[in-house]
Amino acid sequence: MQSKANESVACFDGGFNCAQAVCSTYCGQFGLDKETALRVACGLGGGMGKRQETCGAVSGAYLVIGLKHGQYRPGDTAAKETTYALVREFARRFEEKNQSTSCRTLLGIDLMDCNREIAMARVKQVCPNMVRDAAEILESLLS
């Protein structure tokens, strides 16, 4: 059986963005179909629509944490607090490993203000590692 980290990287390598790769790998175990997960996570790639804010792999992981633990009933503050605590713990672990959750910092380039070939080369170099790290951290938090 392929690991979730490998599955996430394969999804990224198959043409989906970092958020889609992480979110769609885990969605099925929490009742969300893959197509919907791919659609929902699409805008989060490139640090949220190529704005290079929060790394898409990180955002995808946050979505999965919400799928498992998120509040869906009014007044369920325990679910909300659990989700927030897990998001903070995820971020702490990701930053410990990569020094940042910022897409711009992780890539070290401006996706909107550089040569497309340079940008794509940098994305192919950096992002699979971010996807793998996000999936591995997520896996440890979900177990």
**pTM of the entire predicted model:** 0.96
Could you tell me which residues come within 8 angstroms of residue 81 by beta carbon, excluding any fewer than 6 positions away? none
- The candidate with the shortest Cα–Cα distance to 47, out of 96, 135, 109, 140, is 109
pLDDT in tens, the chain (143 residues): 469 999 999 999 999 999 999 999 999 999 999 999 999 999 999 999 999 999 999 999 999 999 999 999 999 999 999 999 999 999 999 999 999 999 999 999 999 888 999 999 999 999 999 999 999 999 999 98
- The candidate with the shortest Cα–Cα distance to 131, out of 110, 103, 108, is 103
- Domain extents in the chain: 4-142
Are the C-beta atoms of residues 55 and 101 closer than 8 Å to each other? Answer: yes
